[in-house]
Amino acid sequence: MNYLEESRRMEGELIALRRDLHRHPEIGLDLPETRNLVLDALESLPLELTLRDDDSSIVAVLRGSDAETGIRSVLLRADMDALPVRELTGAEYAFDGEVMHACGHDLHTAMLVGAARVLSAHRADLRGDVVLLFQPGEEGYDGARRMIDAGALDASGVRPDAAYALHVTSARFGSGVIATRPGPLMAAADVLRVVVRGAGGHASAPHEALDPITVAAAMVTALQTMITRRFNAFDPVVLTVGYIRGGTLNNIIPDTAEFHAAVRTFSPESQEAVAGHATRLCTSIAEAYGLTAEVEWETLYPVTVNDPTEVDFLGATAESLFGTHMVATMPTPIAGAEDFSRILQEVPGAMAFLGATAPDADPASAPFNHSPLSLFDEAVLPAGAALLAQLAHDRLASQAFR
């Protein structure tokens, strides 16, 4: 059974759905318009739906052949939320506001709807159940954990034996290329927030004040040195101060200064260690200068770790659909983060990137995801739908099923 041709026949419908989703971007966990569009697209399908009142998640279970129902299942996931970005692409279907589908989640959602339609048409051929997760709140709201806590992984009656997700990119990979790797694929994400408290005064007499700006600057520099001296270069840590604030005028020393840093790690050990090292460093520097520091560490998402067996299966499935020249093994992970990592902590599975660079753009220089200029090639929608459907069908039929 090859689902690519069937998916290609839906290309116009999938593009229309994607554009409708793109015109109605929503942020976080409450996505009422998005959910209604998805439910309308799924309306005629033989799915068991579970909806929640406190978020916009959709769990859809497609029951396969009677002999295997409730015995084995495969999970497919798409995220649905957008970003607080004003679109500058000039696309006729762009939303006129401060919200944009700048990460391609509208494509993910349309592809999973396409997979649901193809699989539903071949329900009798499925040797088990398919769990379709339409997830809100990936962009910093930990929507995956909310769905797991609500029982989404057990929606079919059994824990899935495998889980898969695709993530489109507006650059880096050529359109239609499937790229993934075994082991760490994406980083863990944490946030460091520091408030330095001193004593304000006149800029001409800093010795009569306790200047929090110079101390905050010392912390920013010391944190970079800490990364290179406390962590193995082959288990990298990325710490970037993206926000710093303090003072009102050039001749006033303020009472406080504040900075926030994004922290990315690629192993649980480094994720735990960097929190302790960074906290001690900032508080010690403040104390050395006679000031105090309030340090807050927020743990967001764990490392996205692909199961090697499932990566091999995904790669072989993609090669059978698109050819070996369209499948690439990434030499290193990327420092972006994903809450699909939560699912991969519970279920063996794999995530892959699907190149969706615009046809007239260079993957090496095109605006990447999250940019207000990011454009995605809609021609990849049938390929994504077909790959998701094929993974579910073939994994359920596999004799090596765990």
Q: Is 93 a catalytic residue?
A: no
Confirm if 188 and 297 have CB atoms less than 8 A apart. Answer: no
Place of tokens 């615009």: 358
Q: How far is CA 49 from CA 42, 61, 105, 160, 322, in A?
A: 10, 7, 21, 17, 32
CB atoms within 10 A of CB 33: 14
The amino acid present at 376, given as its one-letter code, is: F
Confirm if 35 and 135 have CB atoms less than 8 A apart. Answer: no
The CA distance from 111 to 134, in Å, is 11
Confirm if 391 and 76 have CB atoms less than 8 A apart. Answer: yes
The CA distance from 168 to 106, in Å, is 10
The CA distance from 13 to 158, in Å, is 33
Q: Which of 138, 301, 310, 338 is catalytic?
A: 301
The CA distance from 386 to 388, in Å, is 6
Q: Is 243 a catalytic residue?
A: no
Identify the three-state secondary structure at position 16: helix
Backbone angles phi, psi at 45, to 5 degrees: -90, 150
Which residues make beta-bridge pairs with 258?
195, 245
* Beta-strand relationship, 183-186 and 304-306: antiparallel
Q: Which of 6, 87, 139, 378 is catalytic?
A: 378
Show which residues are catalytic: 301, 378
